[in-house]
Structure 1
Amino acid sequence: PVVNDRDMIVWSLYGARAWPTVVLIDPNGKVVGAMSGEGIYEPFDRAIQELIAKHDPRGEIDRTPLQLKLERDKAPRGILEFPGKVLADERSGQLFIADSGHNRIVVVSLQDGALKEVIGSGEEGYRDGSFEEAQFRHPQGMAYDGKVLYVADTENHVIRRVDFARRQVTTVAGTGRQARYWPSGGPARETDLSSPWDLVLVGDTLYIAMAGIHQLWKLDLRRNVVEPYAGSGREARFDSYLPQAALAQPSGITTDGKRLYFADSESSSLRAADLNPNGQVETLVGGDLFDFGDIDGEGRRARLQHPLGVVYHEGSLYVADTYNNKIKRYDLATARIETFLGDGTAGLRDGDRPTFDEPGGVSIAGGKLYIADTNNHAIRVADLRTKRVETLTIRGLEKLRPPQALIRPDVIQVQAQRVLPGEVELVLNLSLPEGYKLNPLAPSRLRVQASPATAVDGLPKEGVVINALPLRTPLRVQTDGELLLDAEIYYCQSEKEALCYFKQLQWRIPLRVDASGARQVTAEYVLRP
């Protein structure tokens, strides 16, 4: 269960001073320990074992499973799931989307939103190989050199290389193990990394926002060497020379060719690091480590709240002010930051008064600002001149169904239906939510089987496209058996085909041949928004 502690009541009652804070409570309800930050799992594992050894002999541990249903299982699957970052490349006309919740990279055309590539099987894991075989674990930021895409495979703690000519994914940095402390760097494939969150390419050097150990790193792509670039590893907001400065979970990074600019999420600040290796780290927007808010104005007096994304464009930095549900613009010449898009409320509204829900990534191409609107499971597109926002419509959705490993079809067991032998009509009656329609850009389909196979004739081998509801299709019933229906339903809002959902349904319908039976077999279901 999740509590929205917006007034920080639980935070205060447990004496939390940083996030994440994990509290251990014994079976009698007594707080027996608490730790903050990362690297807490090993000591907590030992403490939990000690509690079990103490309380289990007394019969004080209740092992009855909790009957909880995940929120994600209560809602239909979106075509995208928690997209974390976007990268728009104007030269190639491509938009790269980190479909983080689906563990894959999606490539669409900037011109018309047509799907071009899906990279990764969608199954959560760590595996190099072809586009169809490769596995990621919640990938985030990307960088593109015109031929190769580099991906921050965040929860695998590695940097991946996507070769479009060979259609292969390989690992270029990291071991797959999370760095527990502050490694000094070394050969790229032999050095542990920790939660790389975003990337930016400058020449042959890939700069990495290494959120897990509060540093910026650099990967020399010619020498295959990776090492810290800025930050001591101490979590704080402390400006100084590159090695001595302290950062706090940098999660977005960009450049103007002279400096690196990064969203320092835990300190809710926007900061800069010189590309000159003898340079310094400077805070542009924000206060101390736990100072946050939603205040526009002069940089050091202004406040953000856990920004995750930043992109440089023509003298300005566009910032995904994530927890404020806004996009803000920082003018490098005036050192002022102002709200550019959003009113602070969480929502999904297009037009001249747009709303967002914790946007995590931003990128710019062709006068358009592309936004990974993470909690809306959507990509938004804003015109930089008019500030008008639209939700991106991806074309070719049938190739972009959620990964099979994540699909949990609803199984509907229908009572036995008595039918006449011979010709009958199968009627599929789906009730769509009010304001929704079948998606014309991705055909829904029904596949029909029988058990035993001889029980029903006339089954369409390729299935039936569902163009309208109810669907009616003829069958020929021979003997008693069971009808097995599998439906893949793509539906979207009537006025916004960009916001689409996917649902997989299965019906099991026993058939009994009877001289007094009906000429119709019915399957029904009510879809939820």
Structure 2
Amino acid sequence: MKRLWLVCCITLLGFVLPMLPVALPAAAFSPMPDSPSLSRPTLQMGPVRAPELEGGMAWFNVPGPLSLAQLRGKVVLLDFWTYCCINCLHVIPDLKALEAKYPNELVVIGVHSGKFKTEKETNSIQQAVVRYDIRHPVVNDANFAIWNAYAVRAWPTLVLISPDGYVASRYAGEGHREELDRDIAALIAEARKKGTLKLDPVEITPRPFQETDSPLRFPGKVYADAASQRLFIADTNHHRIVVAGFDGKVLDTIGSGAPGTRNGPYNFAEFQYPQGMALDGDFLYVADTGNHLLRRVNLKTRMVETVAGTGKNERSRQTGPGTSVGLSSPWDLAIHQRTLFIAMAGAHQIWQYNLDTGVVGPYAGTGAEGRQDGTLETAVFAQPSGLSTDGKRLYVADSEISAVRAIDLATGQVTTLAGGDLFDFGDTNGKGENARFQHPLGVAAAERKLYVADTYNHKLRTIDLRTRFVSNLIGSGMPGLQNDLPALFHEPGGLSYAAGKLFVADTNNHVIRLVEFEPTRVSTFAIDKLTAPTPIKLKDDALPNEEQIGVPTQRLTPGAGEIVVDIQLPPGFKYAPTAEQRYFVSIEAGTEGLTIPAKAMAVTSSKLRFPVSIPYTVTANGMGAFDVVVSVTFCKEGNEGFCSVATYRFHVPFIGRPKGSTKRPVLLKSIPPPTP
């Protein structure tokens, strides 16, 4: 505990020390652990000239190195990050939003100051830049030259530089989008007033994903079910789940391939960077990491639904009904009896979801980041990213401390099986705490052994559960794709053991590997006729001022029914008496069992008034989706020259439900549009 206390104190000291205009010696301060969102005022700096961006080993997404001198006239935002850090990954969506809002005024530069040895390698950073779809310039600050020049003390840290080259402010931790937006806008306004703002574009040349036609893209996790001989693959960067037989035959794909949160049939539903999975009968649970959601797939009805999370990254500590509680980057899942355990990487905790009641909440860990054994209430984890259970203990790949932890399911005691601490990592065999890993992401318990995906060492390791002795299983420690022993992996992220075989999500090789024993041999798992998805995108034929409205999956009673569309006008407004009001219905490709009369598919009339009823018939096995697009023109009462147009697109996924249930209309209702 003394060491953890010191780390936290030094980290906080880094938040308040004034910016130094010269580089500090590397030995003066060590990099500190990544920091959660902090509620504090923006740290305003004095008139300090921003140090130049010198000492980087390589640049990405630009033709050559950038300098602040050549960026004079632009607002520059430096993002100090390392790709293992979950809090750093949470900042990426904020950066993308700011870049989209200020495309000509703002230049974001990622300063990658790697924590782990593997993270200092240029090729590893390039893989991460592609994996997380980072389009702005990134520099490999492997030797912490830029980090020290800016006196950074924690991942992530953001430094805002004014168009005239001075440090304007800096922010530690995640969750500062609103502050950044406010401060960037102020700097732009000031520079525009001075006449010093430059709007000429900076040449960006992001490297395309080379394996464009790869059937899998950065698969993160894999789940093998021996009983059904099925393999479930988190095809993470294709935003879908692939289901294959142990013979390699594709049985299904779940998800359209487009990132998003839509529920509904397989070909319509969306995920965003899904990771771990767990099977409960006919239900497959998915850690929808990028959406901060827990999803449930009904393998019989072929439907996807959300059962926990709000869709926002929230470090909640409450327990409650699933969709009322915020989650933070759920990364892996494991089931014991009627409890689904969740490796909540973003909260540095283990959570639990009751499969019968749907209640979700924390199970183990204080929420602080570090290593501390003890009770469920006092234990401390660091970005747990892999789970497995043998029915007696829950095993945790605790990635940021490069350790493997165990939770006794009877007593609730948390212990460290093997590995180090926040800055104790490496590649060493041995017993318990004498062994060293490098950012392990996956574990699989089987036959008194625990298999470990030692991710940044590009290896598979084993822990003898009786002696706690760690041994090498497969891998030379070098990245690559080779089946001949010693086999080569490239950042393997997920493991699953079934039918005497070990299935491996070999993430950066974009494949699944198969390990068989007696004798040990490695092969690349061949998936027959699997292709990269062609995502179904949200409608790109949007009308002016169109608002797209998602509708929960509708369960329609077979037979005749009606769709009721009700458009609410603002108080004091009426439909324009001579303008044409209109709606049209389009049925999505692949939809089955739904019929709408041709004369009801599209109506345009100056006499059309809402609500309107649209008839349909549906079969018992019908499923798919349809859109209803409505456009209305309305005017202020007493002033028909003061008019506006509002357009709504309702997207409605549906499935047929059994006969005998109460038949209800499908109600599509808008809120009043803004007053013109």
Q: Residue 273 of structure 1 corresponds to which residue in structure 2?
A: 407
CA contact (8 A) 1:78 1:402 kept: no
CA contact (8 A) 1:25 1:31 kept: yes
Q: Deviations over 1:355-388 (max 9, x none)?
A: 1111110111122111111111111111133332
User: In the aligned structure 1, how far is the partner of 2:372 from the partner of 2:439?
Assistant: 17
Relative distance call for 1:139 and 1:186 in structure 2 (3 A) is same
User: In the aligned structure 2, how far is the partner of 1:405 from the partner of 1:55?
Assistant: 42
Amino acid at match of 1:26: S
Q: Residue 126 of structure 2 corresponds to which residue in structure 1?
A: none
Q: Residue 242 of structure 1 corresponds to which residue in structure 2?
A: 376
Matches within 5 A, 1:68-467: 68-73=204-209, 75-110=211-246, 112-179=247-314, 181-276=315-410, 279-397=412-530, 400-404=531-535
User: In the aligned structure 1, how far is the partner of 2:260 from the partner of 2:350?
Assistant: 25
Give the secondary-structure state (helix, strand or coil) at the position aligned to 2:188. Answer: helix
Amino acid at match of 1:163: N
Relative distance call for 1:403 and 1:170 in structure 2 (3 A) is same
- Tell me, yes or no, if structure 1 residue 51 matches structure 2 residue 187: yes
Alpha-carbon RMSD across the aligned residues, in angstroms, is: 2.0
Q: Residue 481 of structure 1 corresponds to which residue in structure 2?
A: none
Q: Deviations over 1:131-167 (max 9, x none)?
A: 1110001100000123111000011111111111101
Shift of 1:74: 5.1
CA contact (8 A) 1:78 1:377 kept: yes
Task: Work out the percentage of aligned pairs sharing the same amino acid.
Answer: 51
Shift of 1:331: 1.1
Shift of 1:185: 1.6
User: In the aligned structure 2, how far is the partner of 1:18 from the partner of 1:292?
Assistant: 18
CA contact (8 A) 1:105 1:118 kept: yes
More strand by share: 1
User: In the aligned structure 2, how far is the partner of 1:128 from the partner of 1:405?
Assistant: 13
CA contact (8 A) 1:367 1:385 kept: no
Alignment coverage as a number of residue pairs:
401
CA contact (8 A) 1:325 1:358 kept: yes
Give the secondary-structure state (helix, strand or coil) at the position aligned to 1:72. Answer: coil
What TM-score, normalized by structure 2, do the two folds share?
0.57
Q: Residue 26 of structure 1 corresponds to which residue in structure 2?
A: 162
Give the secondary-structure state (helix, strand or coil) at the position aligned to 2:174. Answer: coil
Give the secondary-structure state (helix, strand or coil) at the position aligned to 1:284. Answer: strand
What TM-score, normalized by structure 1, do the two folds share?
0.72
User: In the aligned structure 1, how far is the partner of 2:493 from the partner of 2:279?
Assistant: 19
CA contact (8 A) 2:432 2:470 kept: yes
Shift of 1:33: 4.2
Relative distance call for 1:248 and 1:18 in structure 2 (3 A) is farther
Give the secondary-structure state (helix, strand or coil) at the position aligned to 2:300. Answer: coil
Matches within 5 A, 1:445-524: none
User: In the aligned structure 1, how far is the partner of 2:176 from the partner of 2:417?
Assistant: 32
Shift of 1:22: 3.4
Q: Residue 448 of structure 1 corresponds to which residue in structure 2?
A: none
Shift of 1:392: 1.2
Amino acid at match of 1:386: P
Relative distance call for 1:53 and 1:233 in structure 2 (3 A) is farther
Q: Out of 32-41 and 209-218, give the one that drifted further.
A: 32-41
Amino acid at match of 2:193: P
Structure with the greater relative contact order (CA < 8 A, sep ≥ 6): 1 or 2?
A: 1
Relative distance call for 1:36 and 1:301 in structure 2 (3 A) is farther
- What runs of 5+ residues in structure 1 fail to find an aligned partner? 407-529
User: In the aligned structure 2, how far is the partner of 1:322 from the partner of 1:284?
Assistant: 17
Q: Residue 644 of structure 2 corresponds to which residue in structure 1?
A: none
